[in-house]
Amino acid sequence: MTEQSRTPAARRVAIVTGGSRGIGRESAERLASDGFAVVINYAGNQAEAEAAVTAVTAAGGQAVAFRADVADEQAVAALFDLAEDTYGGVDVVVHAAGVMTLAPLVDLDLDALDRMHRTNIRGTFVVDQQAARRLRPGGAVINFSTSVLGLALPGYSAYAATKGAVEAITLILARELRGRDITVNAVAPGPTATALFLDGKDAETIERMSKMNPLERLGTPADIAEVVSFLAGPARWVNGQVLRANGGAI
């Protein structure tokens, strides 16, 4: 081991958007346990973000929090600036931030559609644009789609449409980064026990959706974080793919 490899700058660095709660937080904590220094991006809840940082540092890891609207290009540039200034660079971007409003297409409020478009599509584009400009060789971009694209569940038309755009961005960016030694993939969870999924669903609906896969349970944030860890670390030959982490639902 060289003297240079012993320095703090040699530590790999991950930015996790939506990292203060749910799958994002679990992914941030998992990457920190894998040895990454983590920058936890959050949209509004500072207390949750600080709790996530505390959880990482209490376990012996390194983390800082930064507030940024993922659809705001200046705020996202500042997020990447912070990661570079604090830890020396960026190696992995986990873009877990997203919003979801459910309703049949005929009833969906168009303001909700616009909000999902801004966060889920524009946000992915803005975050991936900075990642493409700044990631070091050997890096990885991990976007988030949804298995609802395959399940075609009623009520999810607008949300699924935004995630279809995420998949298109993911597959094309992987090819645009030819020669950079950077992988670009998306994780597409099935029904997962997060606040985003559980909000507004009654017990009967949750039970029914938990039985959709052969394992007959909801996914957990830890299940999804395990996939993120794989794509961020050893999975260097997985590129330009959508990994459907749903217990075999489709």
Please report whether residue 4 resides in a domain: no
Residue-wise pLDDT tens digits, 146-156? 999 999 999 99
The predicted pLDDT at position 25 comes to: 97
The pTM of this model reads 0.93
Say what percent of the chain tops pLDDT 90. 86
Instruction: State the average pLDDT for the chain.
Output: 94
Q: Strand order in 37-42's β-sheet?
A: 62-67, 37-42, 13-17, 92-95, 140-144, 183-189, 242-245
Domain count for the chain, please give it.
Answer: 1
Residue-wise pLDDT tens digits, 11-68? 899 999 999 999 999 999 999 999 999 999 999 999 999 999 999 999 999 999 999 9
SS3 45: coil
The predicted pLDDT at position 197 comes to: 80
Place of tokens 């999975």: 235
What CATH number is given to the structural domain containing 83? 3.40.50.720
Please report whether residue 202 resides in a domain: no
Q: Which domain holds residue 155?
A: 9-193+221-245
- Least confident piece of the model among 46-50, 160-164, 205-209, 222-226: 205-209
The predicted pLDDT at position 6 comes to: 35
Please report whether residue 187 resides in a domain: yes
Please report whether residue 14 resides in a domain: yes
Rounded mean pLDDT, 210-216: 91
The predicted pLDDT at position 1 comes to: 37
Alpha-carbon gap, residue 173 to 125, rounded angstroms: 10
Residue 3: is its pLDDT beyond 60? no
Please report whether residue 210 resides in a domain: no
Please report whether residue 101 resides in a domain: yes
Beta bridge pairs of residue 144: 187
Residue 183: is its pLDDT beyond 60? yes
Q: Which of 42, 87, 156, 159 is catalytic?
A: 159
The predicted pLDDT at position 152 comes to: 94
Please report whether residue 77 resides in a domain: yes
* 238, 241, 245, 249 alpha-carbon torsion, rounded to 10°: -130
Please report whether residue 98 resides in a domain: yes
Judge whether 87 counts as a catalytic residue.
no
Residue-wise pLDDT tens digits, 93-115? 999 999 999 999 999 999 999 99
Alpha-carbon gap, residue 142 to 159, rounded angstroms: 19
